[in-house]
Structures are given as structure tokens and as C-alpha cells.
């Protein structure tokens, strides 16, 4: 009886109490994968832990074998996975979440950061010292706005500083080395060869078992092109979400 994690949908990174940075992912593929697994292998499944934000497609299958874990941010996702791996022996994870690349570090009024720069007496410094001091100001200015409350709708000159989010896929095998890892990579406007090269590097770097490599410009109108590869090369090319879900279901139970 297998225990499986499927994470799906976007991550959301807060700017203030109401504004967030997110992406266009809907979690549709993750939900189809969960339904396909249950349709074909329900008797061999103990639990599917479905990890996703509130606004996300959910599996249509009604069963107590699905346990929903609600997350919002990248940090939430990492914490949820750590807890699941700690409390369960997970046989496979389908890491289909569209984890955002960036999160908000701070929001500041342009007028406030300009005042801080003017007060820093840059003219007395060399150009290298000026650069270092300016970067220090931009990294950690004094007059940032609090993100626990809603920023006023009448601020005309807001600046948002972004930071990189952690790469979740790089942490999964560290958390659970024996879990079968099926990761995803999405690119746009590249050749299939370039898509393969990038996806294969991702697979090797993160010790993944499979990568589902997608092209954004070939997703839509009922179609979803993807190549699924392991360390030895392409195992399958798919043209729809259903085909992707069927192949993933098979490799989890092979």
C-alpha cells in the first residue's frame, strides 16, 4: 500500500496583508494525476497527500484516501513536506507545484529611499565605495513599510524588493532519499533539444527519478505537450494532461 504526495498549483508570496505575488498555475495537471492514480490503482494506495493552496484544482474523486494539506507560500510548502516525510514513509512524490521564483523582501516609498541615499553623503566616497553603500541601502533600507497591514491605495511611488525563493526540488531527496521523485520543468520558446538539456541537468542535480519537461507555448486548447525523462533519456512524449497522468501513474507503481 503506497503513500504518495502530490503538490500542485501556485505558491503565493505576500507583499502586504492583501497583496501577493503568484503565477498562472491552476493545479489542473496535479488533480488529473491524483484522479488517474485512484482510478487505476486505488486498491494499492494507502494515502495520497494532496498539497496545494486554497485556490487550486482539486481531485474529483471522492475518497478518504485523499488527505488535503493546504499551503500558501514556498515556505509553507517546504514545512508541509518536511512534516509529511517525518511522519510517513512516502513511496513517491509528484512535485508539480509551480513554485514561484521570487518573494517580496520589502516595500518602500521611493521618496523614503531617495532621502536615505541623499543623506548617505556619497560624494565623499570613491565609486567602488559608493556602489557598496548604495547596495547596502537597497538591501536593507530603514523606512520599509510594514507588511502585516494593508498598504495605502494612494501611494504613487512604491518600490518592491524581491528575493529568490528556495528551490524546493533540491530539498526533497535530502528530506527523504528513498522516495521516488517526479519533478517538473517548464520553459517557453525553446527547442525540444534545449528543453531536454535543461530538464536533464535538473534531474541530475537534484537526484530526481523522472522529470516532466513542459513547453508553455504548447499548453492550451486541450493540449499539453511534455517529454518525460529519466537519467538515461526520454521515456515518453505526451500530448495531453491525461497521457502525462497515465505515464506517471505507471512509473509510480512499476
Q: Which string of DSSP letters, residue by residue, matches 88-101? A: S--SEEEE--B--S
pLDDT in tens, 56-71: 999 999 999 999 999 9
- Segment 185-195 shows an average pLDDT of 96
Any bridge partners for residue 103, and if so which?
A: 163
Distance from C-alpha of 62 to C-alpha of 52, rounded to nearest angstrom: 17
| Residue 154: per-residue pLDDT | 86
Q: Judge whether residue 148 has pLDDT over 80.
A: no
The pTM of the full predicted model, rounded to 2 decimals, is 0.92
Place of cell 548604495: 134
Q: What are the residue boundaries of the structural domains of the chain, listed by start?
A: 2-100+167-253, 104-163
Q: Judge whether residue 195 has pLDDT over 90.
A: yes
| Residue 66: per-residue pLDDT | 98
Q: How confident is the model at residue 150 (pLDDT cuts 50, 70, 90)?
A: confident
- Segment 210-233 shows an average pLDDT of 95
| Residue 48: per-residue pLDDT | 98
| Residue 254: per-residue pLDDT | 84
Distance from C-alpha of 92 to C-alpha of 115, rounded to nearest angstrom: 53
- Segment 133-155 shows an average pLDDT of 88
Distance from C-alpha of 161 to C-alpha of 142, rounded to nearest angstrom: 13
Q: Judge whether residue 237 has pLDDT over 80.
A: yes
CATH of domain 2-100+167-253: 3.40.50.10300
Q: Judge whether residue 147 has pLDDT over 90.
A: no
Contacts of 53 (CB under 8 A, 6+ apart): 9, 10, 11, 12, 27, 70, 71, 72
**Segment among 36-50, 67-81, 117-131, 203-217 with least mean pLDDT:** 117-131
- Under DSSP, is residue 202 helix (H, G, I), strand (E, B) or coil? helix
Contact 63, 52 (CB under 8 A): no
Rounded alpha-carbon distances, angstroms, from residue 10 to 26, 95, 139, 201, 244:
7, 12, 27, 23, 19
Distance from C-alpha of 237 to C-alpha of 155, rounded to nearest angstrom: 49
Distance from C-alpha of 57 to C-alpha of 29, rounded to nearest angstrom: 9
Q: Judge whether residue 145 has pLDDT over 90.
A: no
Distance from C-alpha of 162 to C-alpha of 245, rounded to nearest angstrom: 34
Q: How confident is the model at residue 122 (pLDDT cuts 50, 70, 90)?
A: confident
Amino acid at each position: 500500500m503506497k503513500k504518495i504526495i502530490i503538490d500542485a498549483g501556485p505558491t503565493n508570496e505576500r507583499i502586504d496583508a492583501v497583496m501577493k505575488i503568484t503565477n498562472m498555475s491552476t493545479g489542473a495537471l496535479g488533480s488529473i494525476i491524483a484522479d488517474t492514480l485512484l482510478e487505476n490503482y486505488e486498491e494499492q494506495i494507502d494515502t495520497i497527500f494532496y498539497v496545494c493552496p486554497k485556490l487550486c484544482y482539486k481531485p474529483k474523486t471522492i475518497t478518504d484516501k485523499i488527505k488535503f494539506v493546504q499551503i500558501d507560500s514556498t515556505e509553507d510548502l517546504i514545512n508541509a513536506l518536511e512534516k509529511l516525510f517525518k511522519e510517513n514513509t512516502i513511496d513517491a512524490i509528484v512535485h508539480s507545484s509551480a513554485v514561484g521564483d521570487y518573494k517580496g523582501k520589502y516595500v518602500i516609498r521611493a521618496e523614503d529611499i531617495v532621502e536615505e541615499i541623499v543623506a548617505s553623503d556619497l560624494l565623499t566616497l570613491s565609486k567602488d565605495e559608493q556602489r557598496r553603500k548604495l547596495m547596502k541601502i537597497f538591501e536593507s533600507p530603514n523606512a520599509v513599510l510594514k507588511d502585516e497591514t494593508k498598504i495605502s491605495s494612494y501611494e504613487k511611488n512604491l518600490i518592491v524588493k524581491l528575493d529568490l525563493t528556495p528551490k524546493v526540488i533540491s530539498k526533497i531527496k535530502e528530506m527523504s532519499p528513498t522516495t521516488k521523485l517526479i519533478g517538473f520543468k517548464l520553459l517557453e520558446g525553446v527547442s525540444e533539444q534545449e528543453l531536454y538539456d535543461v530538464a536533464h541537468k535538473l534531474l541530475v542535480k537534484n537526484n530526481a527519478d523522472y522529470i516532466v519537461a513542459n513547453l508553455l507555448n504548447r499548453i492550451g486548447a486541450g493540449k499539453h505537450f511534455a517529454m518525460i525523462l529519466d537519467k538515461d533519456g526520454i521515456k515518453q512524449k505526451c500530448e495531453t494532461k491525461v497521457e502525462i497522468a497515465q505515464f506517471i501513474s505507471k512509473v509510480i507503481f512499476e
